[in-house]
Every structure is written in structure tokens, then in C-alpha cells.
Copies of this chain bind each other. A is one copy, B any other.
Amino acid sequence: MATTGFQIPVLAVVGPGLIGGSVAAALKQAGCVQRVLGVSRQASTLAQALQLGLIDEAVDLETAAQQADVIVLATPVGATRALLEQIKPHLRPDTLITDVGSTKVDVVQTALEVLGDQAAQFVPGHPIAGAEKAGPEAAFAELYRKRVVILTPHKENTAAAKNQIIRLWEQCGARVLLMSADEHDRVLASISHVPHFLSAVFMWQVASAADADVRLHVAGSGFRDFTRIAAGSPEVWRDIFLSNRAAVLAELKQVREAFEQAEMALLESDGSALYEFLEKAALARRLWASRSGLE
């Protein structure tokens, strides 16, 4: 690939698993990085990332903070505060930090608190991409191609810092959207956290039924698709729900109202109300599929 002039001499990836490892792989493939440092508490993650060529060297967080031009925090949201506290004393004034956390209001607040007068160096982000599997072995350079990455710059960020992180993601093939951390958390509550909540509620209810075995034996491909997200890590999702609590609760209230409205149509055997409700949902889903290119 032709060079575009965008260069990160030393990139550090904290957590070189699926998400972080794919950033490293994409930037290497685009010819934008000269050297990638990997940081992880898990020796096996580092060994795999090294063997797969995702990172060039395994280092500790202090070394990464001292040497890197850009640090990508690709760890669960709950780890952000501790990582920033360890990075802060060693952080050069020209190093940028970005993250991939699923919620942003709390991450921005944490960064402002912990980094203080160096908070301008932290540009918060969230790539909307994932895969069934986790770990360095699941990482691949194309993970972010044509996928949305949301950046939620805060008031301290300079235009230059924002542009660097925008270009980083564009080099990974992503479509970058800018919005406020508030708006991000509201939008994600709707299109990511609520579906997980509903899928888990449903799965919990089926598994709790006296005849759960018969039900699960009969379940087919619609059930499979609808419940796939419910298999996600309980730790990760508990943290997401707690850190985006207010936005999720506000959204759930709207969903419960829609639920009760549709339930009422069925209770009253109101065929035309049911039809209108189902038709609006079906048309919106079909339109989305044709526009998103995701199906």
C-alpha cells in the first residue's frame, strides 16, 4: 500500500487481543507503524501476539508510556483508571492515548481526573466491531474495514490530536464518526446494550422454565440469531451496564412502553394494530440491511 505520510514510529497496544491486535495488524498492513510494543498482564497473550507478528516486543506499561508515540488501550472499560494511573508518571508530553471502551462518559471523566493537565493527550474512541472469538489468534487486519469507529473528543483535545487519532482509524479502513460522549452513550445504550439486555432476559427466562429441555431441543435458527449476543462475557457486560446505567435505564423505559403497547394489541386481538407494528419493524429492518451492507 502506498504511504500516505501518516506515520506512528512506535505504537503501544495495551491488550493485544482481538480488538487491540487487529489495530496493530491493520496499521502494520497499511505501512503506518515502524514498531509495535505489546503490554498485557497475561504472558500467554503476549507470547501469542509476538508469535503472530501482531507486536514486535513485549514490554511493561512504564516502558510503553516512555517509548510510544501512540498508546491504544484495548482493555475492558473497568481497567481504564488503573492503567492511566500507571501511565501518567511516565507519559511524554507528545504521546497520544486512545481507547476502545464500550462506554465513553465514564472514560472521559476518568481521563480528565487521572491525567489532569495531560488530559489533552487522551482522545477517547470506540470501534463498533467485534467477532465471535477473542484473543490474539482471532485478530486480523480487516476487522475494522468499512466499520464505524466513534471518537468522542473532549474540550481539552487539540485539533491536531483529534486528527492524528482520526487518521489512525482511517488507516485501519474504518469510517470515523465524531460525537459527544453523552450522545455516544445514549446511542450505544440503544443499539448495543438494550439488545444484550433483552437477549439475556429472554435466555434467562427460557432456561428458568420447568420444561427448558424441551424448549431448547426444539429451538431453531431464529432462536440462534436472537440469542447469540447473550453468550457474551458476564463480567464485560455487567461492567458495561453499570458504567452506562442511566442511559440504559432511560432506553429500557422506552422499550417497555413499546412492549406494553404491542402486548395490548395482542390482548385485544387487534389485527390491524399488530400488523402496523410488525410492518414498521420489518420495513425498518429491511431498509437497514440494504443500507448497512451488514446483511
A204 near B281: Cβ-Cβ < 8 Å: yes
Give 19 CB contacts A-B under 8 Å: A177-B218, A190-B209, A191-B216, A192-B219, A200-B277, A203-B285, A204-B280, A207-B280, A208-B258, A222-B228, A224-B294, A225-B229, A226-B226, A226-B229, A230-B281, A231-B282, A242-B271, A252-B259, A252-B266
Closest to A262 in B: B201
A215 at the interface (CB under 8 A from B): yes
Nearest B-chain residue to A127, judged by Cβ: B220
Contacts of A241 in B (CB 8 A): 266, 274
A155 in the interface (beta carbon within 8 A) = no
A30 at the interface (CB under 8 A from B): no
Q: Which positions in A face B, CB cutoff 8 Å?
A: 128-130, 147-148, 150, 177, 179, 183, 187-188, 190-192, 194-209, 211-212, 214-235, 237-238, 241-242, 245, 248-249, 252, 254-256, 258-259, 262-263, 266-267, 269, 271, 274-275, 277-282, 284-286, 288-289, 291-292, 294-295
Identical chains bound together, number: 2
> Are A194's CB and B190's CB within 8 A?
no
Q: Which residue of B lies closest to A130 (CB)?
A: B221
Q: How close is A101's CB to chain B, nearest CB, in angstroms? A: 15
The DSSP consensus for interface residues of chain A is: helix
Is there an interface contact between A216 and B258, defined as CB atoms closer than 8 Å?
Answer: no
Residues of B within 8 A of A281 (CB): 199-201, 203-204, 207, 230
